[in-house]
Chain A
Amino acid sequence: MALTTAPGRTGSTRSARPHAPRRGAGRNRHGEGLAGYVFLSPWLIGLMGVTAIPMLLSLYLSFTNYDILTPLSEVEWVGLANYERMFTADPSYWHAVQVTLTFALVAVPLKLAAALGVALLLNRAWRGVGLFRGLFYLPSLLGGSVALAIVWVNMFNRDGAFNSFLAIFGIEGLPWVNDPEWALETLMLLAIWQFGAPMVIFLAGLKQVPGELYEAASVDGANRFRQFWHVTLPMLSPVIFFNLVLETINGFQGFTAAFVLSNGTGGPVDSTLMYTLQLYIAGFTDLEMGYASAMAWVFLIAIALITTIFFSTGRFWVHYSDGER
């Protein structure tokens, strides 16, 4: 800080007013601060207008009976009624919580396992390994895309490609996406298949593991598995931690695929009623935006809590090679 302002002061004295260096410097510093804010302003306006203010408004609305159609000036304060209803009187809310937890608990670990497994395979110096890295990354480029969800639905229909494939082996497939017992599993599979992003991060992490550690381990007689267990995993643990936190948050927020698969209803028979979808239905189909806002805030707090738990357990299993951080 001192270094950057020092030349400014000398410059100022030299240029115009040798008798008032401090005032000039003060004004200048002020001007630079202002400039900073001006250049920040697109982002600041975006943050305030698109994120912060709507969020605060939704916090307020969560204590009201806002129904979208009634003007904001006429909404009624209902206190904790929305929260009370969520926790005590709305079975479909708890169903959505259960669906979302199931989804995250199954899909996230499997996705991370797939990402790590493929990253380990692609960490070798094969010919054409770059091509494979690209190919495996491809699905996650398509991210939360609607088109991909539509393709998935058509693949796992009763007369979809997957069942045609099963038919080769004489197996009669199920109507996966239209079967309440399997629809959620189909969505999990889609999420797992998009393991590219954590895979790339794992790959980068694997590149950072110093080769001499493996040499030392093999000199000590450690086999492949023990090398993986005692060298790779500990060295990779910060990356695993990072991926785990991000993917868990992503997993909880899954919306697009469930929306597309069920035409926005969470069906068949609520089997794909993810939390975010339930929130959407409450707000936009049932026009209970106050209630939906309350759901959103509980969701935010729940995700914050889970993330905090990850961070507080992290110190027991995340190993930073450059000393304790």
Chain B
Amino acid sequence: MHTSPTTGSPVEPLFRSRAPRRRILRGLVAAVVAAPLMFGAAACGDDGAATGDDKVKLSIFWWGGEARAKLTEDALALYTKKNPNVTFEKTWQANQGYFDKLATLTAGGNPPDIFQIDDNYLAEYAGRSTVLDLTSYKDSGKLDVSKFPKSLLEYGVVDGKLAGVAAGENTQGLVYNKSLLTKNGLPEPTTGMSWAEHIAWAEQVAKKTKVPGTQDPSADYKALWVWLRQQGKDLYKGNDLGFDEADVTRWFELWKGARDRGATPTPDVIHEGNSSDITKQLVVTGKSATSWVWVNQMPDLKKNTKDELGVVAYPGDPSGQWARASMYWSVFKGSKHRDAVVDVINFLANDPEAVALLGTDRGLPSNMDLRAKVSETATDPAMKQSIAVETELAAKFGPSPQVPIKGHSKVKSELVKAAENAQYGRVTPAEAAKQFLAACKSAIA
């Protein structure tokens, strides 16, 4: 380059444009430095403006399918129609990965103003400074829960704080393939059957139809929970477990017996059904005559099979079951629009039109007056069925247990691990129970 004969022509343009170039560079540097400052400033500006009562945009996040999204969007649109200054930024996704996303949003300092949560995580969030305590709103009447059943309201209380408002009520349901039973002239299961009777019935179904009679629910915390309550125990007591190793051993042995009698599917099929995914429940994939679900999942299950489905309570005394908040609406403590957010939740729970729109997708409406109305006007057969079962069970429910404690999600996954270990025959029920207890203790420590 330096040997160029034409008087340094290759370098010349560089210098002719030096001054503008430097200006450009300076501008670029300034832009790079200033950009974050400007964004920061913009964010600050937003803060200031939003505290006023003018235009408010609330972010809301829930899990569920498309049907739920449609209903929820309609209800929120109704709110905006009645309160034109409030609009929503709606985000929803499938259950799997929902809590990862919610945790990440929270960590990023950007959680939604309103979010859907369930009892698996309520204590985790309430125990930290993430969720707004709604007690004062309840007391001042801004959040009207006077029409809620007392037990349902209390199932949203963690450490004396109202951490979530029940978006609906559900309970455990044993769903069975009605078509299969009728075709083979077999009796349908009934509420109040004992566990032994249930297993004997499942064995009979398996022999006659070649379809395993019942999904083995030993890995299912909600089945274990009902069973424990029927023995006078519980899943949790205070900050400790409400059961011991001997209880879990008996639970695992009960189902080992069922497997040995051929009442359940093979371990790999049980494993498939242990997924929380509705489309993989064995009753809809045709790999078992029953599945262990929540009653409000009936319409969704129905969409995944051509067969007719029925639903009853889990075996044993139905007082082991309770009116569970299927999910809650909770408010982010750092939300800049707390009053507006509480008003939206109040609307979703108590406005007759909104509740009519939402139907029983999140469970029976929490407001008892409106629940009666929705029950009268329901037309969808699967919805009617789940309403009928829940209404029938409501008279037999036991008291609500405490909301599961911190570490519950780990306890759930450890139960799956231990139960499957026994199902695959790698350990005895007693060994599996021992393994489970040890893991639980470190999970809730």
Interface-lining segment among A62-70, A114-122, A209-217, A233-241: A62-70
Asked whether, in the complex, the Cβ of A38 is within 8 Å of the Cβ of B417, the reply is: no
Q: Does B107 contact A (CB under 8 A)?
A: yes
Bound Cα distance from A6 to B96, whole angstroms: 63
Bound Cα distance from A267 to B219, whole angstroms: 13
- Partner among B99, B107, B421, B439 whose Cβ is within 8 Å of the Cβ of A269: B421
- Partner among B106, B271, B424 whose Cβ is within 8 Å of the Cβ of A69: B106
Bound Cα distance from A267 to B1, whole angstroms: 64
- Partner among A10, A12, A179 whose Cβ is within 8 Å of the Cβ of B268: A179
Q: Does A265 contact B (CB under 8 A)?
A: yes
Residue of A nearest to B435 (CB): A91
| Contact sample, A vs B, 8 pairs, CB 8 Å cutoff | A3-B2, A14-B8, A15-B16, A31-B22, A41-B32, A179-B424, A267-B271, A286-B407
Within 8 A of A (CB), among B384-433: 407, 409-410, 413, 416-417, 420-421, 424, 426
Bound Cα distance from A207 to B251, whole angstroms: 65
Asked whether, in the complex, the Cβ of A284 is within 8 Å of the Cβ of B103, the reply is: yes
Q: Known: A69-B106, A284-B100. Is A178-B11 also a contact (CB below 8 A)? A: no
Q: Does A287 contact B (CB under 8 A)?
A: yes
Q: Known: A284-B104, A287-B124. Is A3-B1 also a contact (CB below 8 A)? A: yes
Asked whether, in the complex, the Cβ of B100 is within 8 Å of the Cβ of A285, the reply is: yes
A68 to chain B, nearest CB (A): 4
Bound Cα distance from A15 to B8, whole angstroms: 12
Question: Which chain A residues border B37 with CB–CB below 8 Å?
Answer: none
Q: Does A71 contact B (CB under 8 A)?
A: yes
Within 8 A of A (CB), among B82-105: 96-97, 99-100, 103-104
Q: Does A34 contact B (CB under 8 A)?
A: yes
- Partner among B14, B104, B271, B426 whose Cβ is within 8 Å of the Cβ of A178: B271
- Partner among A28, A69, A175 whose Cβ is within 8 Å of the Cβ of B128: A69
- Partner among B28, B106, B410 whose Cβ is within 8 Å of the Cβ of A68: B106
Bound Cα distance from A56 to B323, whole angstroms: 47
Q: Does A8 contact B (CB under 8 A)?
A: yes
Q: Does B125 contact A (CB under 8 A)?
A: yes
B113 to chain A, nearest CB (A): 16
Asked whether, in the complex, the Cβ of B8 is within 8 Å of the Cβ of A11, the reply is: yes
Bound Cα distance from A35 to B28, whole angstroms: 10
- Partner among A12, A89, A267 whose Cβ is within 8 Å of the Cβ of B417: A267
Most chain A CB within a 10 A radius of its CB, from B25, B97, B426, B439? B25
Asked whether, in the complex, the Cβ of A38 is within 8 Å of the Cβ of B11, the reply is: no
Q: Does A170 contact B (CB under 8 A)?
A: no
Bound Cα distance from A12 to B14, whole angstroms: 10
What class of interface size applies to chain A in its complex with B? 35 or more
Within 8 A of B (CB), among A1-28: 3-4, 6-8, 10-12, 14-15, 28
Question: Which chain B residues border A71 with CB–CB below 8 Å?
Answer: 109, 129
Q: Does B29 contact A (CB under 8 A)?
A: yes
Asked whether, in the complex, the Cβ of A269 is within 8 Å of the Cβ of B11, the reply is: no
Asked whether, in the complex, the Cβ of A180 is within 8 Å of the Cβ of B11, the reply is: no
B contact set with A: CB distance below 8 Å: 1-2, 8, 10-12, 14-16, 18, 21-22, 25, 28-29, 32, 96-97, 99-100, 103-104, 106-107, 109, 124-125, 128-130, 266-269, 271-272, 275, 277, 407, 409-410, 413, 416-417, 420-421, 424, 426, 439, 442-443
Asked whether, in the complex, the Cβ of B25 is within 8 Å of the Cβ of A31, the reply is: yes
Question: Which chain A residues border B107 with CB–CB below 8 Å?
Answer: 68-69, 289
A interface secondary structure, majority = helix
Q: Does A263 contact B (CB under 8 A)?
A: yes
Most chain B CB within a 10 A radius of its CB, from A4, A14, A69, A90? A69
Question: Which chain B residues border A284 with CB–CB below 8 Å?
Answer: 99-100, 103-104
Most chain A CB within a 10 A radius of its CB, from B125, B269, B407, B417? B417
Bound Cα distance from A73 to B104, whole angstroms: 16
A290 to chain B, nearest CB (A): 12
- Partner among A14, A31, A69, A178 whose Cβ is within 8 Å of the Cβ of B272: A178
Most chain B CB within a 10 A radius of its CB, from A11, A74, A90, A175? A11
B371 to chain A, nearest CB (A): 33
Within 8 A of B (CB), among A268-319: 268-270, 281, 284-287, 289
- Partner among B12, B25, B103, B277 whose Cβ is within 8 Å of the Cβ of A34: B25
Question: Which chain A residues border B410 with CB–CB below 8 Å?
Answer: 285-286
Most chain A CB within a 10 A radius of its CB, from B18, B22, B106? B18
- Partner among A158, A285, A289 whose Cβ is within 8 Å of the Cβ of B413: A285
Residue of B nearest to A175 (CB): B268
- Partner among B11, B29, B103, B416 whose Cβ is within 8 Å of the Cβ of A267: B416
Q: Known: A68-B106, A178-B272. Is A269-B417 also a contact (CB below 8 A)? A: yes
Asked whether, in the complex, the Cβ of B2 is within 8 Å of the Cβ of A7, the reply is: yes
B193 to chain A, nearest CB (A): 30
Question: Which chain B residues border A139 with CB–CB below 8 Å?
Answer: none
B341 to chain A, nearest CB (A): 18
Asked whether, in the complex, the Cβ of B129 is within 8 Å of the Cβ of A70, the reply is: yes
Q: Known: A34-B29, A265-B413, A269-B421. Is A11-B12 also a contact (CB below 8 A)? A: yes
Question: Which chain B residues border A265 with CB–CB below 8 Å?
Answer: 413, 416
Bound Cα distance from A264 to B122, whole angstroms: 21
Residue of B nearest to A67 (CB): B128
Question: Which chain B residues border A68 with CB–CB below 8 Å?
Answer: 103-104, 106-107
Asked whether, in the complex, the Cβ of A263 is within 8 Å of the Cβ of B275, the reply is: yes
Asked whether, in the complex, the Cβ of A11 is within 8 Å of the Cβ of B14, the reply is: yes
Question: Which chain B residues border A90 with CB–CB below 8 Å?
Answer: 442
Closest CB pairs A-B (n = 5): A175-B268, A178-B268, A69-B128, A284-B100, A68-B107
Asked whether, in the complex, the Cβ of A12 is within 8 Å of the Cβ of B15, the reply is: yes
Question: Which chain A residues border B268 with CB–CB below 8 Å?
Answer: 158, 175, 178-179, 268
Bound Cα distance from A175 to B423, whole angstroms: 14
- Partner among A3, A11, A89, A268 whose Cβ is within 8 Å of the Cβ of B11: A11
Bound Cα distance from A45 to B33, whole angstroms: 11
Bound Cα distance from A269 to B219, whole angstroms: 11
A272 to chain B, nearest CB (A): 12
Question: Which chain A residues border B272 with CB–CB below 8 Å?
Answer: 178
- Partner among A3, A31, A268 whose Cβ is within 8 Å of the Cβ of B420: A268
Within 8 A of B (CB), among A245-279: 263-265, 267-270
A186 to chain B, nearest CB (A): 12
- Partner among A14, A34, A41, A263 whose Cβ is within 8 Å of the Cβ of B96: A263
Residue of B nearest to A289 (CB): B107
- Partner among B271, B420, B442 whose Cβ is within 8 Å of the Cβ of A89: B442
Bound Cα distance from A92 to B421, whole angstroms: 14
Asked whether, in the complex, the Cβ of A285 is within 8 Å of the Cβ of B409, the reply is: yes
Bound Cα distance from A267 to B21, whole angstroms: 60
Residue of A nearest to B266 (CB): A175
Asked whether, in the complex, the Cβ of A69 is within 8 Å of the Cβ of B125, the reply is: yes
Asked whether, in the complex, the Cβ of A10 is within 8 Å of the Cβ of B130, the reply is: no
Question: Which chain B residues border A267 with CB–CB below 8 Å?
Answer: 271, 416-417, 420
Question: Which chain A residues border B8 with CB–CB below 8 Å?
Answer: 7, 10-11, 14
